[in-house]
Amino acid sequence: MGARSGAQYMERLAETRPAVRIQGEVLDGPVTEHPIFARLISSFAALYDMQLEPERVETMTYAEAGSSERYGSSFIVPRSHEDLVRRRESMKAWADYSLGTLGRTGDYLNCCVMALSEAQSWFSQADAAFAANIAAYYSRARAEDLLLTHTLISPQANRSQDAAQQQGGALTARIVAEDDNGVTIRGARMLATIGPIADELLVFPSTVLKGTPEDAPYSFAFAINCDAPGLRFICRESLDYGRSHFDHPLGSRFEEIDSVVVFDDVHVPFERCFMLGHPDLCNGFYTETTAAAHMTHQVATRTIAKTEAMVGIATLLTEAIGIDSFQHIQEDVAELIVTLEIVRGLVRAAEADAQPNGFGVLTPKMASLNACRNWFPKASQRFPQILRKFGASGLMALPTQADIEGEAHDDIERYLQSATLDGSDRVRLFRLAWDMSMSAFAGRQTLYEYFFFGDPVRMAGALVRGYDRDPYRARIEEFLQRPQ
Ligand SMILES: Cc1cc2nc3c(=O)[nH]c(=O)nc-3n(C[C@H](O)[C@H](O)[C@H](O)COP(=O)(O)OP(=O)(O)OC[C@H]3O[C@@H](n4cnc5c(N)ncnc54)[C@H](O)[C@@H]3O)c2cc1C
């Protein structure tokens, strides 16, 4: 099939029956028919349609020599600088659609699976079958254009204990049995964003395993259908409140939903497994395969889209109410611009300094991307703060679409007009600023940017441990030895 349309995505989803628990409800029909998920599914369908639009299809899909089958560009195995640019341009088009607010567009994990499938010799250290399985999985994900999500971390019960210690080891998803055909998984994992509307779930290593025998049952990587028997998604409350796109411009379109995943004796066939046991290898799963670099390339590209959107909203908002010439307002707009240019610069540096990895895949420079993924989670915490400061009470003077179309129309047009906009257009703009800075959707975005790629504290530790500081240490030692 190759790169699919929105209709094809929805057709497949309509045939699956994931076990979903949400707001007290047990879903027993297709998720496509449930109002909580309908608008998110429409947004994902629009993304799939986008890649087939005549003016985008050349960038967003590719064909291999001698074949007319086209695949999504995030499946390209990059060998040249042009390949990296094409991957980025394709990822940027998807990110722009949601103003950078959708974190789990398919390209995020396509990047990961692409890199893993090329690292077959790494998987063979454990078992040649795992190498074959990950290669086959990449081929299938690409051919069927699967929408993947993943779940990595153990339940947040007691972070001073390892997975193997929590409730005697009975809390975190683990291998409880093995038979001739596969393994059985019992326990829970956090957190699967888009779980109910994805095709498949990647259950990949957590990065906090100790290389001890006790951690072996918690060490694995596999893929499973989202409606596999025994698999359950326990969702948080939806932040799509069913309001119009005018009232909730982001939440009504891009509410991704997050869910805890329960494995109630889920059987995983061996051909779906990419690693079983081997905690030491699991700890190097993302770095040694360079999957982390390719995933961060997508993440940084999305954050460019989000920061551009912030600059756009801030510009329109400050012009709307005539505050754009005040110095402290300009200082904050400058902060957004600086953030944007830093992320752009880091992505450009990563592409310019890309090198083939040990498996022949041209890989963006991780040091630049690592700087981005360590810094942006903190820098982006300022985004909602800046919009709140700019909007002030205007972020609360926000009648709804029903008011604009009803009795309050004349008052809104007269009293909510701004320096550049009539009343209803000003409300439309400010509702977007509110949904980017203050709504429940915005709150989740802020938390997402801070944590979704890992705890910044522990990422900083990993950066310090992995960064080659020897030349700088040596320079200072040499300096200290100069004649006094
Ligand atoms: C909106 C959202 C969506 C997400 N989506 C996904 C997803 O799709 N798939 C997925 O797998 N994961 C997802 N995540 C999970 C994400 O990977 C984790 O939030 C992140 O790894 C941090 O882990 P935690 O949330 O369990 O925090 P914890 O590890 O419980 O940390 C809580 C606090 O304690 C501190 N702390 C805990 N342990 C230590 C320690 N050993 N040393 C120092 N400080 C410590 C942390 O710094 C933090 O301040 C998502 C998270 C969010 C917020």
**pLDDT per residue over 9-22, tens digit each?**
999 999 999 999 99
* 104, 159, 381: residue to mutate for ligand 1 pocket, most atoms within 8 A of CB: 159
Average pLDDT over residues 317-328: 98
Task: Look at residue 227 and give its three-state secondary structure.
Answer: coil
| pLDDT higher than 80, residue 210 | no
Is the minimum distance from the CB of 52 to ligand 1 under 6 angstroms? no
| Å from CA of 450 to ligand 1 middle | 9
Q: Is 23 left (phi over 0), alpha (psi -120 to 50) or beta?
A: left
Is the minimum distance from the CB of 162 to ligand 1 under 6 angstroms? no
- Read off the pLDDT band of 208 (50, 70, 90): low
pLDDT tens per residue across span 38-97: 999 999 999 999 999 999 999 999 999 999 999 999 999 999 999 999 999 999 999 999
Q: Which atom of ligand 1 is closest in space to residue 154's alpha carbon?
A: 26
| pLDDT higher than 90, residue 28 | no
Q: Which atom of ligand 1 is closest in space to residue 195's alpha carbon?
A: 8
Q: Which atom of ligand 1 is closest in space to residue 455's alpha carbon?
A: 22
Is the minimum distance from the CB of 326 to ligand 1 under 6 angstroms? no
Is the minimum distance from the CB of 203 to ligand 1 under 6 angstroms? no
| Å from CA of 449 to ligand 1 middle | 11
Average pLDDT over residues 377-403: 98
Write the burial class of residue 26 (CB in 10 Å: 0-12 exposed, 13-18 middle, 19+ buried). Answer: exposed
State pTM to two decimals.
0.96
CA distance 24 to 7: 29
| Å from CA of 64 to ligand 1 middle | 39
| Å from CA of 400 to ligand 1 middle | 36
In contact, 261 and 187? CB cutoff 8 Å: no
* 112, 162, 236, 455: residue to mutate for ligand 1 pocket, most atoms within 8 A of CB: 455
CA distance 111 to 139: 13
In contact, 197 and 40? CB cutoff 8 Å: yes
> Which of these, 237, 240, 225, lies nearest to 42 by C-alpha position?
240
Alpha-carbon separation of residue 396 from 33, 200, 438 (angstroms): 34, 41, 10
Those residues with Cβ within 8 angstroms of residue 451's Cβ, 6 or more apart along the chain or in another chain: 377
| Å from CA of 455 to ligand 1 middle | 5
pLDDT tens per residue across span 252-282: 999 999 999 999 999 999 999 999 999 999 9
Is the minimum distance from the CB of 160 to ligand 1 under 6 angstroms? no
Which residue, by CA, sits nearest to atom 14 of ligand 1?
A: 452
The mean-pLDDT minimum among 119-133, 199-213, 283-297 falls in 199-213
Is the minimum distance from the CB of 153 to ligand 1 under 6 angstroms? yes
| pLDDT higher than 80, residue 209 | no
| Å from CA of 218 to ligand 1 middle | 17
Is the minimum distance from the CB of 152 to ligand 1 under 6 angstroms? yes
Residue 308, number of CB atoms within 10 A of its CB: 19
CA distance 139 to 153: 27
- Read off the pLDDT band of 207 (50, 70, 90): low
Q: Which atom of ligand 1 is closest in space to residue 193's alpha carbon?
A: 8
In contact, 199 and 215? CB cutoff 8 Å: no
| Å from CA of 209 to ligand 1 middle | 15
| Å from CA of 208 to ligand 1 middle | 11
